[in-house]
Amino acid sequence: MKTHPHPFLPVCRADLKARGWDQCDIVIVSGDAYVDHPAFGPPLIARFLEGRGFKVGLISQPDWHSAEPFKELGKPRLFFGVAAGNMDSMLNRLTAQKKNRSEDQYSPGGRTGCRPDRATIVYAQRCREAYPGVPVVLGGIEASLRRIAHFDYWSDKLRKSILLDAKADLLVFGMGERPIWEIADRLHRGEKVSQLHDIRGTAFLMNNEETKRHEADPAQQVSDRKTVVLPSFEAVAADPAAFARMTGAFQRETNPGNARPLVQRHGDRGVYFNPPAFPLGSGEGDTSQGLTNVAMDELYDLPFNRAVHPMYGDDGVPAFEIVKHSVVLMRGCFGGCTFCSITEHEGRVIQNRSAQSVLREIRAMRRMGDFRGTVTDLGGPTANMYQLKCKSEAIEAKCRKLSCVYPGVCENLGTDHGPLIELMREVKKEEGVKHVFIASGVRYDLAELSPAYVKELASFHTGGQLSVAPEHVSPRVLEKMKKPGIAAYERFQEMFACESKAAGKEQYDIPYFISGHPGSTLEDMIELALWLKQSGRRPRQVQDFIPTPMSVAACMYFTGIDPLKMEPVFVAKGLKEKRLQKALILYWNPEHWDDVREALQLAGREDLIGRGPSCLVPAQTGAERDRLSKRLPLPRGGEGRGGG
């Protein structure tokens, strides 16, 4: 039987007995399988609280059909912490075409059906049933991105703040170490949960009278800041323009340095949002402004086994297999891409680990029995934002820009890749390390500013393929995405190719593209398809746009309005039109030829159907028509290569 260096967190009464505990202080309920690794949010929070001296238990993927499984660890002394897991539960189950996914990467053996839809709500309700009166605190990405009135793609309607449906006491949004520790500490000291209404990075429900006070006097001072009153749920449900205004107002209050509290009415209740928590430092804790002292390094020094819990037997957890030999350098992203929710959850300020912390994790990884010398990724949300920050703390604290790199790289942004290059080299020199690859997406508009970084990347850290995400080529679509023009990608591509050749390596950048994004028409997708053909590319990594809750692009999708400019934007809403847009990127694949032909006909571009050098697909043959009439599958080889 495999042994582990540290006791796993308690998952059952027998574990409590083995530790000599009568009761947990805190019970974390998670929609993911229990993987004791810092890449998994609920175990990270649980280990963090354990490191602060609390008795913490973890209930993973409980059967939600009754309250009994939620009693597995007994009544927690302080509170239940509830999270759906590392992904929104609806996104985890359904594709952009609203079809069931074949695998749940966060469940044992990849099995599906291990968590309910809207898991945060269901789990919170079961915790209430199990032990009425015990505070329930929501956290994780599902709660974070559904904290205000939001568009839910899977039901195709607006939903209220998740706080109301879950009937929880508090919601922790963003990366929750600071607020969750303050919650635990103050409850431990005897405060009631109803008194914890001044903690940064949290939201809570107010009664009608409290809400009225804010609505009557929105300029009142709260902690020396004015409160922003958002349009009510009823207003945004009735008027798309109100929803767009709400989104724009929310987005401009996300910088911890200047964000003001927010209030939004839902019927006879209100939801109050404190300003975001301050970002974590690296190796040195931040005790300024009376904040809890937390550092990024500390999180990764916690006693993780870096293993799947033994209760699953030989069933692996697919997501763990992907990350177990990778290392996260930082969190956050200042890119501000409208389709991405990383910024809304992790923040715009990059939070870095020290080089020594990273090297300690490499050494811990080296002690894992299956490590063979290959670090599969050294990155984070973006591969090359490590140690990048505003040149002036004073400017950063006042800035309300939503991106540091759009429409161009900000003159106040430090773009020195030197610390990252040095860290990559240090990791490569570690004993037992043979290869260090970069699998996270590279921000090419930043990379092209550092030829030394591109050289290091191409020479030593690319395993044949490098992930980059130009997303589109159309300027009007890229503007709605808040992504740089395709010329920046082409410049980086040339730099990378030259450095790869100089290093004597045959390797390629693999571009990612999005279809169906707000602003993108069939004509825009045809422009992309023609660019792909002319550049000789046949991408297999295509994302059919999914409007994730609270993102700017989700607002565009729902309202047809760009909330940052309050101007109309085209939206491909029907599943069929979304399918046709995706097919155009895959024009070279015979399985998509019929959809490509239909898209070209709808766009009036029949000139691109045929066998000429400029054509995207061949005309339909009699054999194809016969196959379609008999509903037979099209052979993968097709009857010609089309224009590709």
pLDDT tens-place string over residues 335-351: 999 999 888 889 899 99
Are residues 486 and 538 part of one domain?
yes
User: Are residue 570 and residue 593 in the same domain, yes or no?
Assistant: no
Can you give the CATH number for the domain in which 118 is found?
3.40.50.280
Confidence grade of residue 187 (pLDDT, cut at 50, 70, 90):
very high
Q: Which of 201, 231, 256 is the last residue of a domain?
A: 201
The reply to whether 635 and 573 lie within a common domain is: no
**Owning domain of residue 529:** 325-586
Tell me if 482 is assigned to some domain.
yes
Same structural domain, 599 and 572:
no
Q: Is the peptide bond before 407 cis (omega within 30 degrees of 0)?
A: yes
Q: Provide the pLDDT for residue 644.
A: 30
At 361, which CATH number? Answer: 3.80.30.20
Lowest-confidence segment of 31-40, 84-93, 285-294, 387-396 by average pLDDT: 285-294
Residue 30 lies in a domain: yes
Residue 435 lies in a domain: yes
357 and 465 share one domain: yes
* Tally of CB atoms within 10 A around 582: 23
- Give burial (CB, 10 Å; 0-12/13-18/19+) of 429: exposed
Contacts of 83 (CB under 8 A, 6+ apart): 28, 29, 30, 31, 41, 42, 45, 120, 138, 139, 140, 142, 143
**Does residue 252 have a pLDDT over 90?**
yes
Q: How far apart are the C-alpha atoms of 139 and 31, rounded to whole Å?
A: 12
Q: Structure tokens of 234?
A: 């009823």
Residue 254 inside a domain? The answer is no
CA dist list (Å): 600 to 36, 295, 529, 591, 637? 50, 54, 11, 16, 22
Whether residues 333 and 187 share a domain: the answer is no
Cα–Cα distance for residue pair 48/136, rounded to 1 Å: 18
The C-alpha atoms of residue 580 and residue 596 are separated, in whole angstroms, by 7
Predicted pLDDT at 219: 55
Ramachandran area for residue 332 (φ above 0: left; ψ -120 to 50: alpha; else beta): left
What is the pLDDT confidence band of residue 639, given thresholds at 50, 70 and 90? very low
532 and 624 share a domain?
Answer: no
Q: Where are the beta strands (DSSP E) in 580-627?
A: none
Domain membership flag for residue 263: no
Would you place residue 3 in the very low, low, confident or very high pLDDT band (cuts 50, 70, 90)?
A: confident
Distances, alpha carbon 382 to alpha carbons 42, 231, 299, 342, 639, in Å: 22, 33, 20, 10, 41
Lowest-pLDDT range of 4-8, 381-385, 543-547, 598-602: 4-8
Q: What is the pLDDT of residues 462-471, one digit of tens each?
A: 988 898 999 9
For residues 538 and 34, the model is more confident at: 34
72 in Cβ contact with 59 (< 8 Å): yes
Element (H, E) at 469: strand 465-471
Taking 70 as the threshold, does the pLDDT of residue 143 lie above it? yes
527 and 395 fall within a common domain: yes
| Dihedral over alpha carbons 360, 278, 564, 205 (to 10 degrees) | 120
Residue 410 within a domain: yes
The mean pLDDT value for 379-394 works out to: 94
Is residue 502 domain-shared with residue 598, that is, in the same domain? no
* Distance in angstroms (rounded) separating the CA atoms of residues 118 and 464: 39
Residue 224 confidence (pLDDT) above 60: no
Reply yes or no on whether the pLDDT at 539 is more than 90.
no
Count CB neighbours of 179 within 10 A. Answer: 25
Mean pLDDT of 408-435: 96
In one-letter notation, the amino acid at residue 137 is V
**pLDDT for the residue numbered 1:** 54
- Percent composition of the chain: helix, strand, coil (DSSP 3-state, to 5): 35, 15, 50
pTM: 0.92
CA–CA separation, 517 and 84 (whole Å): 26
**pLDDT tens digits, 84-118:** 999 999 999 999 999 999 999 999 999 999 999 99
Q: How far apart are CA 308 and CA 614, in angstroms?
A: 52
pLDDT band at 289 (very low <50, low <70, confident <90, very high): very low
CA distance 258 to 265: 23
Evaluate if residue 452 carries a pLDDT over 50.
Answer: yes
Question: Would you state the pLDDT for residue 341?
Answer: 84
Rounded Cα–Cα distance for residues 186 and 292 (Å): 12
- Give backbone dihedrals phi and psi of 377, rounded to 5 degrees, phi first: -160, 140
- Pull the structure tokens for residue 341: 């929710």
Out of 161, 179, 201, pick the residue that ends a domain. Answer: 201
Quick one: what percent of the chain has pLDDT higher than 90? 85
DSSP, collapsed to helix, strand or coil, labels residue 55 as coil
Binned at pLDDT 50, 70 and 90, residue 369 comes out as: confident
**Which pLDDT value is given to residue 225?**
56
Q: Is 478 domain-assigned?
A: yes
User: Do 545 and 605 share a domain, yes or no?
Assistant: no
Compare 2 and 71 and report the one with higher pLDDT.
71
| More confident call, 283 vs 277 | 277
Which pLDDT score, from 0 to 100, does residue 43 have?
A: 97
pLDDT for 621: 72
Q: Is the pLDDT of residue 222 over 60?
A: no
318 belongs to a structural domain: no
Q: If you average pLDDT over every residue of the chain, what do you get? A: 92
Q: Is the pLDDT of residue 628 over 80?
A: no
pLDDT in tens, 498-524: 999 999 999 988 899 999 999 999 999
Give yes or no: residues 455 and 577 share one domain: yes
Domain end call among 176, 201, 226: 201
Provide mean pLDDT across the span 282-302.
68
* Domain shared by 566 and 603, yes or no: no
Neighbours of 613 (CB within 10 A): 7
pLDDT at 368: 83
Q: Write down the pLDDT at residue 208.
A: 95
pLDDT at residue number 283? 62
- Residue 8: how many other CB atoms lie within 10 Å: 17
For residues 437 and 376, give the distance between their C-alpha atoms in angstroms, rounded to a whole number. Answer: 5
Instruction: Count up the domains in the chain and report the number.
Output: 3
